[in-house]
Amino acid sequence: MKDLLEYIVKNLVSNPEAVMIEQTGGEGEVNLLLTVDPADMGLIIGKSGQTIHALRRLLTVRAIAEQVRVNLQLSEPEGESRVESQESSEEEVAEEPKAEEEPEEKPQEEKSTK
């Protein structure tokens, strides 16, 4: 299982030396944790997640042949997690000036039609 994933991923990414795969699991189960260079993360995920979904599907086909269950997880880049990135984007939003303040009202001039 690990060898199949390693072969495919190393041929997809631009930095194959940074590809690391950890395989764990018990009886009838295989868990794979894929770590790639942060610059290659987009290549592995693909547009709308199509590439990672295809990798999972290929692993599922192999798992069916071996009569096991497989789970593939893509590890996040070191130094940043989803929680941290969400907090930083919330701070950016809080720092922006509020556009909802009441605008100054201009006196309306009445137009008379004669």
As averages over each run of 10 residues, the pLDDT of the chain (114 residues) reads: 92 92 90 93 92 94 93 79 47 50 58 60
- Answer yes or no: are the C-beta atoms of 55 and 72 closer than 8 Å: yes
Mapping DSSP to helix (H, G, I), strand (E, B) and coil, where does residue 49 land?
A: helix
Angstrom CA distances, 6 to 20, 34, 48, 83, 86, stand at: 8, 9, 22, 29, 31
pLDDT score of 21: 93
Q: Secondary structure of the chain: what % helix, strand, coil (to 5)?
A: 50, 15, 35
What are the φ/ψ torsions at residue 31 (nearest 5 degrees)?
-110, 125
Domain regions of the chain by residue span? 2-78
pLDDT score of 105: 59
pLDDT score of 13: 92
Kindly report the pTM of this predicted structure.
Answer: 0.65
2-78: CATH topology: GMP Synthetase; Chain A, domain 3 (3.30.300)
In eight-state DSSP terms, residue 11 is: H
Mapping DSSP to helix (H, G, I), strand (E, B) and coil, where does residue 69 land?
A: strand
pLDDT score of 38: 92
CA angle 87, 91, 96 (to 5 degrees): 150
